[in-house]
């Protein structure tokens, strides 16, 4: 039994994500997809960089794959986030690794399209397979969504499957909420 671990933002789920998951399904018996989640106590933290909550992203994935993949929130960071830094030497980061491997039996590998991320996955012994970076990124789709809110020409619907277009339309208030905000997300390499 081989499990593929796919840790990703998936905010929103794009055609590129769908392509990756379909490839992983060919290589593994089980595909465990883990959209990243940031929590403060029991409350999920969302921002301009991470507008859609876990349940919405899970719904996006289920609209395409049904129950043919395993979707979990095992890739969750709990506030205060500085407890995960520096990586590798902090117990919290190793607890996260254990959480990611929750329910995984037998052989496994993780997937990334980013070489630097692949290096970190290797250091955490998550056996990364590094794929090719896809042309469509969730960041570019998000920017197109925000452009649409601001009345600019936008082609975001070309970058996501029709089922996900419907879910984003249902969640349009979320897109509107973050379109005019400054991004408060602190990025750490």
Q: What percent of the chain is predicted at pLDDT more than 90?
A: 84
Structure confidence by residue, pLDDT tens digits, 123-159: 999 999 999 889 899 999 999 999 999 999 999 999 9
Whether residue 187 has pLDDT greater than 70: no
Tokens of 147: 């452009």
Q: Angle at CA 186, nearest 5°, toward 19 and 127?
A: 45
pLDDT number for residue 85: 84
In the chain, the N- to C-terminal Cα span, in Å, equals 33
For residue 82, give the 3-state DSSP assignment: helix
Sign of the dihedral defined by the CA atoms of residues 27, 30, 34, 35, in that order = positive
**Beta-sheet strand order (sheet of 37-40):** 43-44, 37-40, 76-78
User: 186 falls in which pLDDT band (50, 70, 90)?
Assistant: low
Structure confidence by residue, pLDDT tens digits, 4-30: 999 999 999 999 999 999 999 999 999
Residue with the bigger pLDDT between 114 and 168: it is: 168
CA gap 154, 39 in Å, rounded: 31
For residue 68, give the 3-state DSSP assignment: coil
User: 82 falls in which pLDDT band (50, 70, 90)?
Assistant: confident
Whether residue 185 has pLDDT greater than 70: no
Dihedral angle at the C-alpha atoms of 13, 93, 120, 89, nearest 10 degrees? 160
- Give the mean model confidence (pLDDT) for residues 151-176: 97
CA gap 42, 58 in Å, rounded: 18
Tokens of 103: 């329910």
Q: Which of 109, 121, 136, 138 is nearest to 29 (CA)?
A: 109
CA gap 39, 79 in Å, rounded: 6
pTM of the model: 0.94
Which residue intervals of 31-160 are DSSP H helices?
54-65, 91-100, 115-123, 138-149
User: Are 121 and 8 spatial neighbours (Cβ–Cβ below 8 Å)?
Assistant: no
């Amino acid at each position: 039994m081989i499990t593929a671990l796919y840790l990703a933002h998936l905010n929103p789920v794009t055609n590129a994500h769908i392509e990756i998951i379909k490839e992983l399904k060919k290589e593994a018996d089980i595909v465990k997809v883990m959209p990243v989640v940031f929590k403060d106590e029991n409350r999920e933290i969302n921002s301009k960089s991470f507008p859609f909550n876990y349940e919405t992203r899970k719904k996006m994935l289920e609209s395409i794959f049904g129950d043919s993949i395993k979707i979990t929130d095992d890739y969750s960071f709990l506030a205060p986030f500085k407890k995960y830094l520096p990586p590798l030497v902090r117990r919290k980061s190793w607890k996260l690794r254990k959480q990611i491997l929750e329910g995984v039996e037998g052989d496994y590998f993780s997937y990334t399209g980013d070489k630097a991320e692949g290096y970190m996955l290797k250091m955490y012994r998550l056996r990364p397979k590094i794929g090719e970076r896809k042309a469509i990124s969730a960041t570019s789709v998000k920017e197109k969504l925000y452009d649409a809110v601001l009345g600019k020409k936008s082609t975001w619907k070309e970058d996501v499957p029709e089922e996900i277009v419907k879910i984003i339309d249902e969640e349009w208030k979320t897109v509107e909420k973050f379109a005019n905000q400054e991004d408060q997300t602190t990025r750490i390499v």
